[in-house]
C-alpha cells in the first residue's frame, strides 16, 4: 500500500485529467462535424478518417498512459476521485467552445467536487521522516 503522494504524482494525475478533458472536447467537436449519426459501417469509416476524431483518440491514449504512471505511485482510492475534475474542465470547456449552458446548480456541483478532493488530499498521510542513524 502506498502511503505518501509526491508532487510529481499529483502532476501526473492532473495532466491525465486535463488530457482526458481535451480528448472529450475534441470528441464533441468531431461528432458535431458529423451531423446526425446512426451506427453504420459508413459512419465508422468516416470517424476513422476524421482528423479531429483521430486526434481526440490520441490524446485519450496519452491521458491513459499518464494515468497508468500515476497509478504506479498512488493508491487507486486516492487517484480515482481526481477524475471528477474532468467534469469541471469539460463543463467550462463546453460552455466556452460549444456555448453550452452552465447553470448555478452545475457550479454548486463543481464546488462540491473540489471540496471532496480537498478532503481526500488532506487525508493522505505525509511521508515519515527517515530516522537519523548514529554510528
pLDDT in tens, 33-49: 887 777 778 888 888 89
Residues 92, 114: Cα–Cα separation, whole Å = 14
Residue 62 lies in a domain: yes
Residue 89 lies in a domain: yes
Residues 103, 82: Cα–Cα separation, whole Å = 22
For the chain, how many structural domains are there in total? 1
Domain that holds residue 64: 7-123
Residue 130 lies in a domain: no
Residue 129 lies in a domain: no
Residue 66 lies in a domain: yes
- pLDDT on residue 123: 75
Q: What is the pTM of this model?
A: 0.80
Residue 74 lies in a domain: yes
pLDDT in tens, 53-93: 999 999 999 999 999 999 999 999 889 988 999 999 999 99
Amino acid at each position: 500500500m502506498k502511503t505518501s503522494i509526491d508532487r510529481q504524482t499529483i502532476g501526473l494525475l492532473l495532466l491525465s485529467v486535463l488530457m482526458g478533458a481535451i480528448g472529450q472536447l475534441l470528441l464533441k467537436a468531431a461528432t458535431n462535424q458529423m451531423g446526425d449519426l446512426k451506427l453504420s459501417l459508413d459512419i465508422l469509416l468516416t470517424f476513422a478518417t476524421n482528423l479531429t476524431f483521430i486526434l481526440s483518440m490520441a490524446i485519450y491514449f496519452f491521458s491513459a498512459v499518464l494515468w497508468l504512471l500515476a497509478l504506479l505511485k498512488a493508491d487507486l482510492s486516492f487517484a480515482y476521485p481526481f477524475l471528477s475534475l474532468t467534469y469541471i474542465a469539460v463543463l467550462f470547456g463546453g460552455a466556452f467552445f460549444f456555448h453550452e449552458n452552465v447553470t448555478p446548480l452545475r457550479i454548486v456541483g463543481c464546488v462540491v467536487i473540489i471540496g471532496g478532493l480537498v478532503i481526500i488530499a488532506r487525508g493522505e498521510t505525509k511521508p515519515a521522516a527517515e530516522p537519523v542513524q548514529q554510528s
